[in-house]
Amino acid sequence: MSQVATSRGRVGFIAGFLVLPLALYLTFVIWPYIQTFGYSFTNWSGQSPTFGFIGLDNYTALMKDEVFLGALWHNLLLLVFVPTLTILLALFFAFMVNAGGRSGAGGVRGVRGSAFYKIVYFFPQVLSLAILAVLFGAVYRSDEGGLLNGFLIGLGLVDPAHPVEWLNEPNLVLWCLLLVVVWHGVGFYLVLFSAAMQSVPKDIYEAALLDGAGRAQTFVKVTLPLLWDSVQTSAVYLGIAAMDMFVLVSTMTSGSFGGGPDHHSEVMATVLMRNFLYFGKSGYACAMGVVMLVLTMILSVVTLRATRRERIEF
């Protein structure tokens, strides 16, 4: 009887701590998702409390919406390039600051000044995306005063009378935004990978060097397999970030909620917000939100399964 009473007391104690957080989570996280899913089947305008059920009409319209389909394509491009470039650069820099220096009496170590480099690389993470938009707005200015144009004009690669309009050129704008995201993210994942590398015994690197492995072989054969769990998690988070991009696109590009020029930098989030707040098509925007949710969940599952491999112990 005493064991039963103790078990019930333990369950009650745990339940007492879980009830309030679970209630808050259901109220402020799960319930809005359910509401959004329900509104996606209506013609709700967002202003009126009344609306009518229209079934799958919003989803059918999405498949014919050229702006939304173009935005989906842009998100898919970012989904490929943002995680790939960010992870590769972060892995390279993390390897250099932890094990890329010359081995000596102290064993394997990073390049000289590695502690300073970590601070420099991490610095973009302390800046908000709004501040980044202002900074890179100055970098991409379409006149001689822009940092990038001024540099290219100084080298004689660009005519001062016809500077490059980075954020107004249809073929360049999306790649300019991509560079901002990568520049912002590399420092965080460098620190993440550095923490993982520091848990790897230095003996492993020293054994690889004694066997005649070069830096490239050590990185591919030793570092990458031992950091695979961190790389897998990073790919999921960066993929989710690539499916968003609302802040940068809406603040750095032309048009209502961004997306210019002529929808060449459009992403699904900007199309959603424009329909919800500007066009008053809130039910239609909710359908876009459901599509984004489903795609993000599919992305996460596929990434985790595609990158799954046997865990390496050390």
Asked if 3 and 146 sit in the same domain, the reply is no
pLDDT at residue 105, as a whole number: 45
Asked if 8 and 125 sit in the same domain, the reply is no
Whether 75 contacts 268, CB under 8 Å: yes
Q: Does the residue 51 lie in any domain?
A: no
What's the total number of domains in the chain? 2
Q: Does the residue 49 lie in any domain?
A: no
Whether 231 contacts 133, CB under 8 Å: no
pLDDT at residue 184, as a whole number: 92
CATH of the domain at 189: 1.10.3720.10
Q: How many other CB atoms are there within 10 angstroms of residue 295's CB atom?
A: 16
Domain carrying residue 12: 1-39
Report phi then psi at 53, rounded to 5: -80, 125
Ranges of beta strands (E only) in 99-151 are none
Among 103, 92, 73, 95, CA closest to 243:
73
Asked if 11 and 90 sit in the same domain, the reply is no
Query: What is the C-alpha separation between 312 and 69, in angstroms, rounded?
Result: 41
pLDDT at residue 66, as a whole number: 94
Q: Does the residue 311 lie in any domain?
A: no
pLDDT tens readout for residues 264-295: 999 999 999 999 988 989 999 999 999 999 99
**First vs last Cα of the chain: how many Å apart?**
46
Q: Does the residue 313 lie in any domain?
A: no
Asked if 97 and 179 sit in the same domain, the reply is yes
Asked if 243 and 180 sit in the same domain, the reply is yes
Whether 155 contacts 148, CB under 8 Å: no
Q: Does the residue 225 lie in any domain?
A: yes
Asked if 142 and 10 sit in the same domain, the reply is no
Reading the block at residue 224, the tokens are: 């990458």
Q: Does the residue 48 lie in any domain?
A: no
pLDDT at residue 19, as a whole number: 84
pLDDT at residue 9, as a whole number: 62
Asked if 122 and 266 sit in the same domain, the reply is yes
The partner residues of 104 in beta bridges, in order of sequence, read 107
Asked if 17 and 160 sit in the same domain, the reply is no
Reading the block at residue 22, the tokens are: 């679970």
Per-residue pLDDT of the chain (314 residues; tens, 9 = 90+): 555 555 566 777 677 778 888 889 999 989 999 999 999 999 998 877 788 999 999 999 999 999 999 999 999 999 999 999 999 999 988 888 877 655 554 455 666 777 777 788 888 888 888 888 889 999 999 888 889 999 998 888 888 888 999 999 999 999 999 999 999 999 899 988 988 888 777 777 777 777 777 777 777 777 788 888 888 889 989 998 998 899 899 999 988 788 889 999 999 999 999 999 889 899 999 999 999 999 999 988 888 887 776 665 55
Among 34, 75, 82, 22, CA closest to 286:
34
pLDDT tens readout for residues 197-235: 887 777 777 777 777 777 777 777 777 888 888 888 899
Q: Does the residue 275 lie in any domain?
A: yes
Asked if 170 and 294 sit in the same domain, the reply is yes
Asked if 81 and 26 sit in the same domain, the reply is no
Among 236, 235, 255, 232, CA closest to 71:
255
**pTM greater than the 0.85 cutoff:** yes
The amino acid sitting at 30 is I
Asked if 82 and 145 sit in the same domain, the reply is yes
Asked if 34 and 77 sit in the same domain, the reply is no
Alpha-carbon Rg for the chain in angstroms: 25
